[in-house]
Chains A and B, each alone.
Chain A
């Protein structure tokens, strides 16, 4: 009579521990997250053994794309608006509030001044997809990069300059960028690179 029947429960696994781990990791990633910002172009930087970290704020970034296009961006949004105001003033342009708002949302841009307004008038989703020609930097011809750098420094004098170049960008573009900066008496830059292990046995002097 007394048949011992095994209880019919599906095998269960206690998920509590797994939840703990999952949320621990989640918390870690949320705390350490610094989001990738929307860049005007994908830039593949060379690597160096330098151990100096790029500062988090007060940065103006000049990016050189692989076809030699030059992009420019400032990290703080209020600075972006002030920079746009400054350049509008010196170049005799005017931007609407909507254009300024859109401009402040762009981490970097690469348009000659003449095409900038047209770009800012586009609906926001389209702005990311359009191909950007780059800021003119030709040291002998038209160069607007120096003007942008000036406008940015006027907006926030604390800004430091970082140059982020693509592996396959040609040297003359870099030279033009340097010439633009030197025309503003800026002689010290940070070149942004990936980190790389120094060769075995190498030790820093300091």
Chain B
């Protein structure tokens, strides 16, 4: 492989003249290429090419003041409640409150992905066609996200991402379950001994 091409001996063709050997100027590049690729491999492995992205999450200020702002309670019919359960299960309650009699039948179990997205779009369409925009021009549709103890961080990020995908501007993350919700969901959101 490595060769510096030089004319070998026996060139002194009888005429007695000693000629200087003609050295070729060719340099073998193979080791250099080896080194180059070695370094490339190292740098490729040591770098992070795909930079992580970040999603912004803004949570409401804690209201420690005693003069809590009076707000109009949300109408249940404008709200899609999303419960995040175990094993990436999602329970959605569209348009009715959890203490409603029909809540048990209406509670739908969906999976992340198209099923959930369809459910959100359906509710969004229904609410936005039924109700007017409010004074500030916001769409009436509201999603209440209720992560439970058995859900994971991934579920939270996924549902927030789903909000971005469905362009739902108004959503709230509420981290406690009311009594009626606890009753409605029952064992599905209780930590089990098998969980870590």
Contacts and interface: CB of A to CB of B under 8 A. Distances in A.
Q: Do A and B belong to a common assembly?
A: yes
A168 B47 contact: no
Nearest to B196: A67
Interface string B32-73: 110011011001101111111111111111100000000000
Interface string A184-199: 0101111111111011
Interface residues of B, number: 54
Nearest to B59: A187
Contacts of A158: none
Interface in B1-46: 1, 3, 5, 26, 28-30, 32-33, 36-37, 39-40, 43-44, 46
A164 B37 CA distance: 34
Given A29-B40, A165-B153, A191-B157, A50 B47 contact: no
B154 A15 contact: no
Contacts of A9: 3, 5
B181 interface: no
Interface string A42-69: 0001111111111000000000100100
Contacts of B160: 48, 191
Contacts of A162: 54
A123 interface: no
B148 A171 contact: yes
Give the size category of A's interface with B: 35 or more
Contacts of A23: 36
Contacts, number: 174
A10 interface: yes
Contact of B50 (A12, A15, A30, A195): A195
A104 interface: no
B74 interface: no
Contact of B40 (A15, A25, A182): A25
B33 A18 contact: yes
A5 interface: no
Contacts of A1: none
Contact of B152 (A30, A170, A178, A205): A170
Contacts of A192: 52-54
A49 B36 contact: no
Contact of A46 (B48, B148, B157): B157
A170 B150 contact: yes
Contacts of A34: 47-48
B164 interface: yes
Contacts of A167: 152-154
6 contacts: A22-B40, A29-B44, A52-B55, A165-B157, A171-B150, A174-B156
Interface of A: 9-10, 12, 14-16, 18-19, 22-23, 25-26, 29-30, 32-36, 45-54, 64, 67, 162, 164-175, 178, 182-183, 185, 187-196, 198-199, 202, 205
